[in-house]
């Protein structure tokens, strides 16, 4: 049964809203997955705070255009393969690496899932390697914890350097005196 024009417009509107609010999007080819497998994928993505939507490639392209996203990266490389075949999109909001991490893990146990690529912000990435790069990104909380750790360590390092400076100056003075003699 064909999709009505009104339904297509609703899907494009939903996709546009999700693309404009997400931090990352991961495209997969879901051909060969059973209904049970798709339910598992949806449940795992939902538990990670991600959305999942199956849509026609033309509708995805229209939504990308409306959001100002392009399938060509800054280097001029085309990522048209993102919108070929049977396409489903997982959207990450709070943690950009969440959908990529879940789908990468699921691809190990469900070999029918083919990772096509996706978007990190407005930058397109292609293939399984691109999705794995997104999945291996550090969480925002971890990066902030490192910044705090560095800031807390900085006064200790300054104190250590200040204490070592006079000793280094004395050693340098002795070295210069020996060379002069």
* pLDDT, tens digit (0-9, with 9 covering 90-100), for 74-114: 777 788 888 888 999 999 998 889 999 999 999 999 999 99
The answer on 152 and 131 residing in a single domain is no
Give yes or no: residues 62 and 113 share one domain.
Answer: yes
- Asked whether 53 and 18 are in contact (CB, 8 A), the reply is yes
- Name the residue among 92, 87, 19 with its Cα closest to residue 50: 92
Shared-domain flag, residues 72 and 132 = yes
Predicted local confidence at residue 161, as pLDDT: 63
Same domain as 86, residue 132: yes
pLDDT at 1 over 70: no
One domain, residues 109 and 171: no
Check residues 170 and 115 and name the one with the higher pLDDT.
115
Is this structure's pTM higher than 0.95? no
Which residues contact residue 153 at a Cβ distance below 8 angstroms, ignoring those fewer than 6 apart? Answer: none
Question: Do 128 and 176 belong to one domain?
Answer: no
- Asked whether the beta carbons of 125 and 133 are under 8 A apart, the reply is yes
Please give the residue range of the domain that contains residue 164.
140-181
Q: 130 and 45, same structural domain?
A: yes
Same domain membership, residue 79 and residue 37: yes
Give the chain's mean pLDDT: 86
pLDDT tens readout for residues 116-129: 999 998 889 888 98
Maximal C-alpha separation, the chain: 98
Q: What are the helix (H) ranges across the chain?
A: 5-21, 35-47, 57-67, 98-109, 127-135, 140-180
CATH number of the domain to which 88 belongs: 3.30.70.1730
Same domain, 108 and 165: no
pLDDT exceeds 80 at position 42: yes
92 close to 23: Cβ distance less than 8 angstroms: yes
Q: Are residues 77 and 96 in the same domain?
A: yes
Is there a single domain that holds both residue 111 and residue 146?
Answer: no
Residue 2 pLDDT grade (very low, low, confident, very high; cuts 50, 70, 90): confident
Count up the domains in the chain and report the number: 2
Which pLDDT score, from 0 to 100, does residue 82 have? 85
Q: What is the structure's pLDDT at 77?
A: 77
> What was the pLDDT predicted at 94?
87
Q: Please compute the mean of the pLDDT values over residues 120-147 and round it to a whole number.
A: 84
Q: How confident is the model at residue 60 (pLDDT cuts 50, 70, 90)?
A: very high
**Is the same domain home to 121 and 99?**
yes
């Amino acid at each position: 049964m064909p999709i009505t024009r009104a339904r297509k417009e609703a899907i494009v509107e939903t996709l546009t809203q999700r693309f404009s609010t997400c931090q990352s999007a991961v495209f997969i080819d879901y051909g060969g997955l059973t209904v049970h497998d798709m339910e598992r994928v949806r449940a795992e993505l939902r538990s990670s705070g991600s959305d999942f939507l199956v849509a026609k490639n033309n509708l995805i392209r229209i939504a990308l255009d409306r959001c100002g996203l392009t399938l060509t990266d800054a280097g001029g490389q085309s990522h048209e393969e993102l919108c070929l075949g049977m396409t489903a999109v997982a959207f990450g909001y709070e943690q950009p690496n969440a959908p990529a991490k879940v789908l990468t893990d699921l691809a190990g146990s469900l070999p029918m899932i083919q990772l096509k690529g996706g978007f990190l912000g407005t930058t397109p990435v292609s293939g399984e390697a691109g999705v794995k790069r997104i999945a291996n990104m550090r969480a925002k909380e971890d990066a902030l914890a490192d910044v705090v750790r560095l800031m807390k360590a900085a006064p200790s390092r300054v104190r250590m350097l200040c204490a070592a400076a006079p000793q280094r100056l004395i050693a340098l003075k002795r070295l210069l005196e020996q060379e002069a003699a």
